[in-house]
Each structure stands twice: as C-alpha cells, then as structure tokens.
Amino acid sequence: MFVVLALVGFPLAAQDNDERLAVRALKFDGNRAIDDFTLRMSIVTSESAWLARVWPFRLVGFGERRYFNENEFRRDVVRLLLLYRRSGFIDATVDTIVTREPGQVGVRFVITEGDPVLVESLAVRGTDGIVPVNRLIRDLPLKTGEPFDRARLISSTDSIRSALQNRGYPFPEVYRSFSVENAARAAQVEFLVDPGPRAWIDSIDVIGPPGLQAALVRKVLRVQPGQQFNQRALYQSQQELYRTGVFDFVDVRLADTISTGPDDSLVTVQVQVSQGRLHRVRLGAGYGTSDCFRTLTSWTIRNFLGGGRSLDLSAGFSKIGTGAPFDAGFENTVCRSLKPDAGTARLDLNYNLTAGLRFPTVFSPRRSATVSLSAERFSEFQAYVRDAVGVTVAVTQQTRWNIPLTFSYSLSYGKTLADDAVFCSILNVCKTEDAAIFKQPRVKSTTGALLVSDRTNSPLNPTRGTVLTLEGRFAGAAIGSDRQIEFAKGVGEFASYHPVGRRAVFAWRVRWGSILSPDLFERQDVRFVPTEERFYGGGSNTVRGFRQNELGPLVHVEETVDVFEFDDSVFPDTTIVDTLVSPTGGNQMVFGNVEIRFPLSVSGRVGGVVFVDAGQVFAAQTAGNKPGIRVTPGVGLRIFTPLGPVRFDLAYNPHGSEKGPLFARTCETRPTGRTCDAEAPLKQLDFSRPSGDGLFGLGERFDFLRRLRVNFSIGQAF
C-alpha cells in the first residue's frame, strides 16, 4: 500500500501544456493471463485512431487524435496493478517505456505477472435437497485450480442465487467467505446459503392502460396461480409478451405482498405492460452476389381481431435489372456480367407475396401456430425456376427443455423449369418432348418437423454457445401430392462458437443431408424428386471457393443458335455458339466450415475472418464414382451494422472448377421467337468442360485469379 500511495503522490514531471502529444502507439508486454483488450479498457490512456497514426493521413489531420496526459498515465499504472490484484496476481509489477517524438508519443506497459493465488478448495453449503452441490459447483464461474478472481467470486454468488430462484426459492441469501495464504499462493472459498422459504404463486396482477386486454396477457404468461415459483419462467413470460408485438414495455416481477406459512409462502406476480404501435411498415433494398438488386416491403398488423394475433403482409422482389420486365438499360451492368446464362428465364424477376396469420397461443401458452398463403417465383442461380402458389400451416411447441419443435404441412401448386440437360443427366430423358412431363404444373404436398436448439448469446453475431438444427420432410401421394412426387428428406446442422481471449471467436459448423426416393422411371409410372428439393453446393454460405450452386453434379449445354433477321430468310445471318451451365443437384450433401473471427478496430465495428470451407454434393447416379471433398480457404472482412455484419469474403479454390457432361443441340432464333428441334435429343459429347471463368472473368489469362471467388452478403456465413 505504501508503494501505491507513494506513486500517486510522487511529484509529477513538468509538462509543457502548450505541447500536446498524440498517442501514436499503446502496447502491452508480458501479459498472458489478461488480454490486451481488457487492459486497454481498464486505463484512461488510449491510442489515436488508425488514420491519425498512419502517414500521410495524420499529416492532413485525418482521424481522431487522443492526447497523452501525464497525470492519468501515472494513475494508469495503479489501475493495472489493482486489476491484477483483483484477478489473483498479488506480485504483479508494471513498468513503463515512453518514446517521445515531435507531436506524438509511444507508450508501452511492461508487465511482470508473477505466480497467481489459485483456488485450492471450493465449497457450497446449505443447498441439500434443492440442487446437487456437484452440479452447482460445476456451473460456477470460479473454478478450483484457477486464479482467485474477485469478479468471478461475485458472479458465482449470483449464479448460486439464480439456481435457487429457478427451483422455487425467491429470496435466498448467499454469504461468501474466503481465506488467502499469500505464501502458499492458495485460497479457500466457501459459500453459505440460506434458501429461505419455498414459494408458490398465489395470484397474478395485470397493470396497464385503460382498455388493456388482461386475458391476452394471462394467456401468454408461462406462470399460472398454483405453480411453484420459477424466476426463469418470469423472464420467459416477459420475452413472450414482447414477442407478440402488442406491447412496447413489459415488466414481470414479484409484488411486495407475501404470505408466509410455516414452511412455504405464497407470492403475487405483478405484470405491468404498455401497449405499443399496432401497425408497422418496413421497406428495404439491397444488393447480393446472386440476386443482384432486391427490395422488400411488409406491413404488420398486431393484435389483429384481438387475441394477440398478428397479420403479416409482405412482398419481396429480387433479380431486379437482370431480366424481364426490368431489364431495359441493364445489358452491360455488373448484374448481367455475373450471370453466364443471360437471356434465359432464370434471370427473370423473382417475387414472393405472402400473407401470414400468427396465433400466439393454441390451447397452451407454450404452443403457437401460423397459417400463411403465398405466391412466388423463385430461381436458384443457374439451376431452376419455380412458380407456385400454396398454403402452409405450422404449429410450434415449446418442449420442457425450452427447445421449439415445429410441425408443418404445406400444399402447393406450381411448376419447376430447368434445362433439358438436367433431366437428360439425372433421369436419362434427353428429348425435349419427354422432358416436358417434368415441367408440367403439379400438386406437391409435404409434411415436416423442425427442431432448433439455439444456445448462443446473439442471433446476429454469436460469440459463444451452440446451435443444433434437425429437419425432416416427406412428400407423397399418401398426403396429397401427385403420384409422381415422392421423397423423404433429412437435414441436420450443428454450429459451435468458442471465445478465444476476450474478442476473437473460433467458430465451426457441420451440415449434412440425405434424400431417399424410389429410383424408378417408367412410361406409365414416374417417380422423381423435384428439382427444387435437391441439394446444391457452392456460394457464400457453403463452400465459398465455388460459385453459387457450382459445387457438385452439373451439366453443360453447348447451343449452336442460328439467328435469322427475317422469317423468309434461307440462310442464317449469324451463328452463335453459347454454353450454359446447369447444376443438377444431388441427393446427399456434407459441408464443414471453420472460421476464426477477430476484431480489426478497438471499437469492434470492423472485423476480419480467416476461414476454411469443405464439402461436396453427391448424386445417386454417381454413387460408383463419387467426387472427392473440396476444400477452399479464404479471408474476409466484416463491417458490423444494426442489421448484422456486412460480409466480404475472398476464397481461393485450389481444385479448379467442377467438370460435368457436355451436351449439344441446335436451335434457331427468328423474330417470332426461339425454337429448338424437339425431335432431336440432346447429344452428349465425349468430354467434360470445367465451369466458371474466375474473378472478374480474367481466368483465361491469369490462373491465380481464375481460382479466386468474391462473395458479398449480409450476416455471418453461419
């Protein structure tokens, strides 16, 4: 203590107040137990913004300059010493090195941590019969064998209190005691718990503005009179009330009135709410690598016809500027240049019109339902176009483990268009007239189940926790589909996030899927998996070294097109040879992704990523000669916004583009339209052709650039 007081009271060196020195560098040496970010947040001295430290930007005054303060700098030494002592390092020392230059200064803190005081024993007493002590100790932030951190000691007290409150004891008292042997570098910690009386809910009081629908509030609550008190259930009730969208303020807590008996007590839950806006209109616009320009608008009517129901009306459009009817003037834009199949139906405007009615409770506060009607035109890049109208009914049940389980039934009527070469490759149907059977409008009926266990700390940018998703779907004549459509589909995904230090995150994900269906093709009885239900790989969310949907099975079609200017022309004016790429999709997939995410700025608004993606899509017809797993590394940039991180990824593909069968056909284009010989089947040539032309179309001349892929989107890859 004498050393600290002497340091604070030591006469300060004279400093010329007229000369302000900008902090150009702030570094820490010797720290291992506490990372740089935590140390920076614990002191006042901070370095100037990046532009203010880099020549020539600092010469013209760019960036925020943060100036060196001699008084605060000396106090920073004390702050660091106190931080280390609170963290269990009682012998830590801090030295400083200051490098002064004209107009700027560099600061370095040299830290010697020494040996920490370790937690030798940890005991919890007073919870017998309520919660097992071993389980309680296992979940405490303070661990035996680790440094005796005072902050973790306090948070452990809160953890014990929460564990009791979630088991029916609303008023526990937790007393902590510890003894420290500095010479032995050992600490003994003990928590004494007085759980207090066990409580049951006697009544629920709802407080709100005039006209409040108290019945709606009571119906949504996770707690009811007669139940045992559970603090977690109060928090969940608050979240559910917010989720209805009817209220802009919700407070669920215990009232002051308590009735105490000989053993147990009765408590009153008080719910205070304030009604929010019942109408919300949203407009949005953006740009994506595959969808080009896109817009979204929605209108939400909350408490529709009472009962907390929500009516959502939405309309979304994408591929604006790539095809009819908004393609005028876009022929030479980047939207066109990104699409090798320009001029086909797969570039036409996409749309999605949806009307959905959500019921917040269905016979139980833990069960909700949604009924939606939709009309859509959706095109998967280079693969297919889907036009359909349909209805979907979904019921979501919150399980006892607080994991939502959703059962759904969907009925749609529409058609899916794909290149004839797709059917020629996967079903050996190579005549245009034969392929027409797969392009007719059909009824598709599917039933499915979806389970999502989300244990992450953020839906937009998780830094810790896990996410498990399991989905199964079935379609067949037994539930209303056309008899030609029959399949069973399963998809699973698991992602895990682990903090590395204070700010970096190690994230990994595995995704797998399989489709089972009768592999039959007979003229009288056709069974097939619809093109839109097959698996596709490549792109910004799977294996980023491949273009969208170009990982896995695909075919190439080389068209020789004779272009006639007039109907009565005898000879073609122009002959064009065009090659189209069409992914056929597969019935099995496996993907794996690994990322290390780290900040690039002190504020955390800009981050970097190093990633490795791996995976492949397999088709049943290639089971005897399956392609290998493709691995592509890369780097990325993240700019964090309220809507999520804006993502730029640059991936390197060491494998080159995937190869596939090459088909040929002859067509002609006249002023009356384009026709191909329906009688002449597609002809498969004797060799395969790789797809893609690399970054910015420079792959023919620069092999390295041919192997680079750029992806731009919003939101993390997983």
Using CA atoms, how far residue 477 sits from 122, 490, 531, in Å, is 62, 19, 18
Mean pLDDT, 10 residues at a time, the chain of 718 residues: 38 48 90 88 88 69 82 94 94 93 90 94 91 89 92 93 92 93 92 92 87 80 90 89 86 80 80 87 76 85 85 89 49 42 55 92 86 89 81 90 90 81 58 64 92 88 92 91 88 94 89 81 58 88 88 75 53 56 84 93 83 91 67 92 84 81 65 53 53 48 75 85
Cβ atoms of 638 and 713 within 8 Å: the answer is no
Residue 578's contacts (CB-CB under 8 Å, 6 or more residues apart) are 558, 559, 561
Rounded to an integer, what distance in angstroms lies between the CA atom of residue 19 and that of residue 14? 12
CATH superfamily of the domain spanning 198-275: membrane protein fhac (3.10.20.310)
Rounded to an integer, what distance in angstroms lies between the CA atom of residue 551 and that of residue 420? 20
Residue 364's contacts (CB-CB under 8 Å, 6 or more residues apart) are none
Cβ atoms of 561 and 573 within 8 Å: the answer is no
Token output for 434: 């034969």
Task: Give SS3 for 127.
Answer: coil
Rounded to an integer, what distance in angstroms lies between the CA atom of residue 482 and that of residue 468? 33
Which CATH fold topology does 418-714 show?
Answer: Porin (2.40.160)
Cβ atoms of 24 and 105 within 8 Å: the answer is yes
Estimate to the nearest angstrom the gap between the alpha carbon of 11 and the chain centroid. Answer: 54
Rounded to an integer, what distance in angstroms lies between the CA atom of residue 634 and that of residue 611? 5
Token output for 571: 């000879």
Please report the pLDDT score of residue 284 as a whole number.
81
The structural domains of the chain, with segments of one domain joined by +, span 2-112, 118-194, 198-275, 282-384, 418-714
Rounded to an integer, what distance in angstroms lies between the CA atom of residue 677 and that of residue 412? 32
**Dihedral, 357, 360, 363, 369 alpha carbons, nearest 10:** 40
pLDDT tens digits, one per residue of 544-573: 998 888 888 877 776 665 555 555 555 555
**DSSP, res 278:** S
Using CA atoms, how far residue 443 sits from 372, 374, 427, in Å, is 17, 15, 21
Q: Which CATH class is domain 2-112?
A: alpha beta
Q: Which CATH class is domain 118-194?
A: alpha beta
Nearest CA to 716 among 629, 600, 617, 607? Answer: 607
Token output for 660: 């596939």
Rounded to an integer, what distance in angstroms lies between the CA atom of residue 290 and that of residue 384? 13
Domains 118-194 and 418-714 alike in fold? no
What does the buried/exposed string (b/e) look like for 135-146 if buried means 16 or more CB atoms within 10 Å of the residue's CB?
ebbeebebeeee
**DSSP, res 10:** S
Token output for 226: 């007669």
